[in-house]
Structure formats: structure tokens, C-alpha cells
Amino acid sequence: QLQLQESGPGLVKPSETLSLTCTVSGASIRSGSVYWGWIRQTPGKGLEWIATMYYTGTTYINPSLQSRVTMSLDTSKNQFSLNVNSVTAADTAVYYCVRPRGVTTWYFDSWGRGALVTVSS
Amino acid sequence: EIVLTQSPGILSLSPGERATLSCRASQSISYNYLAWYQQKPGQGPRLLIYDASSRATDIPDRFSGSGSGTDFTLTISRLEPEDFAVYHCQQYGRTPITFGQGTRLETK
């Protein structure tokens, strides 16, 4: 059974880079035709899709975050990661790693438990 | 982007009753690419329905989805105690992918 687990600092200073890692168990992140992704949730804006990455490395990013977000894969550790640079208080959220299903657009059939990241000095 | 509006914001019902949750889109959703999720406190959302009416793996048949175009409905035929949670809809007919603001289903 697929399991996803987020990890990373819970506190990030404004203007710095938020970095999170998702550890995948129960599947290989390099399996054919597999996508991986990130979604965040805030009380004010609700759920927000951040980005989706194909196992080849091709990445699709929400245009509202395009200039600040990168994703990467670490096949040796079966992990994938998210970086959000130049963070502000508006980036404070619970961040979920997810498995997207679909081809050019996706729903999400597996979610981690979420990691709370607070942006504050 | 497509804006999804869920109603009601809060729905108060008793176990055994029928729940009807609405999700309305600001534009028609291509291929009826709409999903529903259930979320309980401290947990990530759980996929219930995709493609507007297809139940996800291991989802009980008391959950059903319907609708097309701009109007979609999640129905829970007979509420069980474990069904009281927040429900989100999500469209994936057009990027960026967007979510509704959620409906809280609470015990009356």
C-alpha cells in the first residue's frame, strides 16, 4: 500500500527558502507513467495545487507560484522534494505530498498526513 | 481559472439521514473532470469520487457523485458516524487545478 510522508523544517524565515521532502513507500518513484505532487492548505484559501512532476522530471507548476517553485526527485532514496523561495507569511500552510492520477491534469488518490510550515521571523 | 463554490458551508444532519452536497463551477468543466474528497481533523484528504461519478478504491457505495457541466453533487445515502467531516470538490478539467472551499458536515 502506498504511503507518503512529508518532512522538513516547521519554521522558515521570510525571504528564505521553504524545503520539504516526501518519502514514498509501497511504490517506486521511477515507475512508468507515475506523477508526484504537492498541495497546500490554509484556513483562508483552502486547498491550493502547487505542482506536479512526471517521473521523467517534467514539472507542471501553478502559474501563481511559477517563479518561486521547484520540484526534484531523489531516486536513490525514493523521495521527491519541493522548494519554495522568497517566502512570505502567505506561504504559511499545511503542505501535503500527493500522488496525482491522470495525464495532462490530475486528481489525487494518495495524500500524506501533511506538514505545517510557518513563515515567521 | 475555474472557481468552485460549494454549498452549504455547513450541513447539520443526523446519522441515518441523506446528505446532499453541491459544487458549482464558474465555467463548464471539461470531460466532467471533477473529484470529491473527505477530510477529517489532522489528516490529509481522502479521494472519494473522480470523473464526477466514479467511486475510488474501497469507498462504500453509500457515496455517489453526479452532475455535469457546471453543477455537481455528492450524495451520501445514509450517514454513518464516521462520515461527519469536511468535504472538498476539485476540478481538473483545466489548469490550474482548483478546489472548492469545503462543506463541513456536522452532527445535528
Q: What pLDDT was estimated at residue B69?
A: 97
Confidence of residue A103 (pLDDT cuts 50, 70, 90): confident
Q: What is the pLDDT of residue A3?
A: 97
B chain contacts of residue A48, beta-carbon cutoff 8 Å: 99
Q: State which residues of chain B have pLDDT below 50.
A: none
Task: State the pLDDT at residue A119.
Answer: 98
- Cα distances from B47 to residues A47, A54, A66, A78, B30, in angstroms, run 14, 20, 26, 23, 20
Report CB contact under 8 Å: A111, B98: no
CB A113 within 8 A of CB B44: yes
Contact residues, chain A, for B44 at CB < 8 Å: 96, 98, 111-114
Tell me which amino acid residue B65 is. Answer: G
Closest-CA distance, B87 to chain A, in angstroms, reads: 11
pLDDT score recorded for residue A44: 87
Identity of the residue in B95, B100, B101 whose CB atom sits nearest the CB atom of A105: B95
Residue of B nearest to A61 (CA): B96
Residue of B48, B97, B104 to mutate when probing chain A, most A C-beta within 10 A: B97
Judge whether B45 is closer than 8 Å to chain A, CB to CB.
Answer: yes
Spatial neighbors of B36 by CB under 8 A, at least 6 apart, are B21, B23, B47, B48, B49, B63, B65, B74, B87, B88, B89, B90
**pLDDT of amino acid A69:** 98
In chain A, what percentage of residues exceed pLDDT 90?
Answer: 89
Instruction: Please determine, for residue A100, whether its predicted confidence score (pLDDT) is greater than 90.
Output: yes
Residue A43's pLDDT is what?
Answer: 85
| Whole-number pLDDT of residue B106 | 98
- Closest residue of chain A to B40, computed from CA coordinates: A113
Amino acid A50: pLDDT: 98
Whether residue A33 has pLDDT greater than 90 = no
- The whole-number pLDDT of residue B105 equals 98
pLDDT of residue A31: 81
Integer angstrom CA distances of residue B24 from A49, A85, B34, B59? 19, 34, 11, 23
**Among A residues 22-81, those touching chain B with beta carbons less than 8 Å apart:** 46-49, 60, 62-64
Q: pLDDT class for A40, splitting at 50, 70, 90?
A: very high
pLDDT band at A32 (very low <50, low <70, confident <90, very high): confident
| Beta-strand relationship, B103-107 and A3-7 | unpaired
Tens of pLDDT, residues A42-97: 988 899 999 999 988 899 999 999 999 999 999 999 999 999 999 999 999 999 99
